[in-house]
Structure 1
Amino acid sequence: MDLAGKTVLVTGASRGIGAATARAFAMAGATVGVMARDAHAVAALADDIDGIPLSGDVARAGDMDNAVGVLRDRTGRLDVLVNNAGLIGPISGLADADPDDWSDAIDVNLKGVFHGIRSALPLMRGQGGGTILTVGSGAAHAPQQGWSAYCASKAGALMLTRSLHLEAHADGIRAISLSPGTVATDMQAAIRDSGMNPVSQLDWAVHIPPEWPARTLVWMCGPDADSYLGEEISLRDEAIRRRVGLC
């Protein structure tokens, strides 16, 4: 897909799916804003892909406003927002979960998506449209032991995608969620090390590389994904993998 002249903002871009996604969009020709709390990591990645470093925390509405503002000032537009930033923790039973850690997951995984949508919408509406993608999870549909914050926040984030489609589709806003399945990242390593629930017992070889969801997110910006507007694409679906060109 040729995205030359387009501007993309990827959150949680310091590593894993986020870093791979930033690289994939840059390879497609887009100008990419890379946002994460780790200023050194985003600066290094931005330098590597000729992108725009945006240090900030999606849990803070002002940081999202600032990131969108920088891209508006630098490029005049925002064509794609990828809400990728996420936390798996705390991995523990409900009765044992630390309230502050539980709240942090909600702040990033759910409120962070809301902050991204809220910040991007005015600019996208003003330019006649845009695409807002959210990295979701199968955890939005089925609970896993020890993942109460993650499951609840991902379910809420999917509802935000559906709400966004309802409210802004007529303004040219394309809203889609992606459930990537299990991906070989630091988050998956933390899950493995926890030893809690069946996901931690999966053989590492079954996890897909982060480049797969990255390539899928780029594909989701094109008309071939329009049948999924307002809903979630599952990368476990072999038909989707074939359409993206992953198998």
Structure 2
Amino acid sequence: MTHRLSGQTALITGGAGGIGLATIRALTDLGAQVTFTARSAESLASARAALDGAGHGVICDITDRARLAQITAPGFDILINNAATIAPAGRMLDLDIAAFSASIETNLVAQFDAIRLCLPAMLARGRGTVINVSSGAARRAKEGWAAYCTGKAGLAMLTQCLHLEYGAQGIRAFGLAPGVVDTAMQAAIRASGINEVSLLPRSALAPAAQPARMLAWLCTPEADSRLGQELDIREPGLRAAAGLPPLA
């Protein structure tokens, strides 16, 4: 897949760590010019140090609609909606409505806003790729994750709607559930002790490079047979097609 994305521009939200950071490297390796968002100057500086010159980072809370509009104004060939939050974690009667609403704003509304802002330039070119980083929580409820599960379930439906409305106009839409990955979010999950996912040892988590490689592969024509689908990285045929090793 060397330089398969040469000449293409990509925007990755939530690119300062974990899957986002690894995906910047993966897309850059394929020749794409990558812009990524970070929420703070500190996280941006850390990402820049780790990337050794790869990618162009900008500070942006993706729920800041005016700032997001500024960042997307140049237009991109690829959008990867990766930014997300696991908070608030807790049983439903223990959740604050403002915190629940903020979760939906981050995990669903802001993703829609990014798509809405990026679509016009993609449609004008007659092509574009949008990948929403999903979760198994979109399909399976987890105790204490009402906000997260609801947001990700909505995001999965948003992927299908995007494919239905704009697939025929060259917009390549995918959702990807990356599995349990060794990220800062997983560290927060382990600390919460809220459900069985929090009990997984760190040794059981996949490296971020695996979903990053899958996301980069989805940006290439090799993935066209899976357009519009909600994909799970653990599916053996998908892993083989993307060149990932089989799961033990």
Same topology, TM > 0.5: yes
- Residue 43 of structure 1 deviates from its aligned partner by 4.9
Query: How far apart in 1 are the matches of 2:123 and 2:41?
Result: 29
Deviations 1:27-83 (A, max 9, x none): 2111100112123433553572342222112112222211112xx2xxxx5110000
Conserved 8 A contact 2:25-2:54: no
* Structure 1 residue aligned with 2:18: 16
* Structure 1 residue aligned with 2:107: 109
* Structure 2 residue aligned with 1:5: 7
* Structure 2 residue aligned with 1:118: 116
Conserved 8 A contact 1:195-1:201: yes
Query: How far apart in 1 are the matches of 2:77 and 2:42?
Result: 25
Query: How far apart in 2 are the matches of 1:165 and 1:32?
Result: 23
Conserved 8 A contact 2:13-2:20: yes
Which residue, out of 66, 78, 81, partners 1:80? 78
TM-score, structure 1 normalization? 0.93
The one-letter code of the counterpart of 2:56 is I
Query: How far apart in 2 are the matches of 1:152 and 1:137?
Result: 11
* Structure 1 residue aligned with 2:37: 35
Conserved 8 A contact 1:60-1:115: no
1:123–1:39: structure 2 CA closer, same or farther, 3 Å change rule?
farther
Query: How far apart in 1 are the matches of 2:158 and 2:78?
Result: 16
Query: How far apart in 2 are the matches of 1:44 and 1:31?
Result: 20
Conserved 8 A contact 2:17-2:47: no
Query: How far apart in 2 are the matches of 1:153 and 1:28?
Result: 31
Deviations 1:103-147 (A, max 9, x none): 221111001110110010001111111000010000000100000
1:43–1:204: structure 2 CA closer, same or farther, 3 Å change rule?
closer
* Structure 1 residue aligned with 2:128: 130
Query: How far apart in 2 are the matches of 1:185 and 1:140?
Result: 19
- Residue 213 of structure 1 deviates from its aligned partner by 0.5
Query: How far apart in 2 are the matches of 1:104 and 1:157?
Result: 15
Query: How far apart in 2 are the matches of 1:196 and 1:84?
Result: 23
* Structure 2 residue aligned with 1:227: 225
Q: Which has the larger displacement, 222-231 or 88-97? A: 222-231
Question: What are the residue-to-residue correspondences of 1:116-195 with 2, within 5 Å?
Answer: 116-195=114-193
The one-letter code of the counterpart of 2:39 is R
**SS of the residue 2:148 aligns to:** helix
Conserved 8 A contact 1:14-1:38: no
Query: How far apart in 2 are the matches of 1:227 and 1:149?
Result: 32
1:25 aligns with 2:27: yes
Query: How far apart in 2 are the matches of 1:18 and 1:190?
Result: 17
TM-score, structure 2 normalization? 0.93
Query: How far apart in 1 are the matches of 2:56 and 2:45?
Result: 8
Conserved 8 A contact 1:26-1:49: no
Q: Percent identity?
A: 44
1:66 aligns with 2:70: yes
Query: How far apart in 1 are the matches of 2:167 and 2:81?
Result: 18
Task: Give structure 2 stretches of 5+ with no counterpart.
Answer: none
* Structure 2 residue aligned with 1:54: 58
**SS of the residue 1:49 aligns to:** coil
Conserved 8 A contact 1:6-1:31: yes
Task: Give structure 1 stretches of 5+ with no counterpart.
Answer: none
RMSD: 1.4
